[in-house]
Amino acid sequence: MTQPANLKTKLFTATVSVAGTLALIYSLYHLRLEPVRLDWMLVLAFIMLLSWRAEVWIPGARSKITLSDTFICIAILMLGPWAATVLASIDGLARSPRGSKTNLASTAFINMGSMNIAVLSASLLAVRLFGPLDHLLYSEGHLDQLTLAIGLITLTNYLINSSIAAIAIALYRSQKIIKTWVPRHRSGRQIEE
């Protein structure tokens, strides 16, 4: 049964969409000041678009990761937060379901917004803790820090992105957020309530 989106849901999705758009604009501004290799951005964008439908469901959870997430992580390491956020915008738009024209724009903007917020937050946190990530990638003796940085990026990106999705769904369904975000299990099977 489909419920109409309530005011809280609309306000939340609009806030995420605006914040994500501002993250994209801020990233484009930084890329103008600190250009990166355009050839690498184009290669990563191309491969990411080819692979965005390759999905892996996380066992025991109602979430999935796509192969394009890997290429965004590579972009964070090689090109930095600003380029990765631009690529996240492309990925968020590519992941948007094709449906009715009335919901298409709002779905595309919330997907892009949540991807941008998650990727920019994860990458800026990693840069703050570990310094420029390309130095970890290309210099010897930093494999342990590089591994920690990749783990931090992946975990932060997942937590922020899945939290935004859970909040939006919980608001839409008028449920508690934690009930939406944490899957319920009994004897290894998900329970529908």
Chain centroid, CA 117 distance in Å: 7
In the 8-state DSSP scheme, what is residue 60? Answer: T
Confidence of residue 8 (pLDDT cuts 50, 70, 90): confident
pLDDT at 153 over 90: yes
Q: Give residue 142's identity as a one-letter amino acid code.
A: H
- pTM of whole model > 0.75? yes
Structure tokens at 182: 């944490």
Angle among Cα 123, 71, 79 to the nearest 5 degrees reads 50
Least confident range of 56-65, 109-118, 162-171: 56-65
Q: Are 180 and 162 in contact (CB under 8 A)?
A: no
CB 111 within 8 A of CB 92: yes
Burial of 171 (0-12, 13-18, 19+ CB in 10 A): buried
Report DSSP state, residue 139: S
Rounded Cα gap, residues 60 and 173, in angstroms: 22
Please tell me the predicted confidence (pLDDT) of residue 189. Answer: 37
Each residue's pLDDT tens digit, 69-99: 888 999 999 999 999 999 999 988 887 766 5
Average pLDDT, the chain: 82
Gap between the Cα atoms of 157 and 165, Å rounded: 12
SS (H, E, C) 61-105: CCCEEEHHHHHHHHHHHHHCHHHHHHHHHHHHHHHCCCCCHHHHH
Provide the CATH number for the domain formed by 7-180 in this structure.
1.10.1760
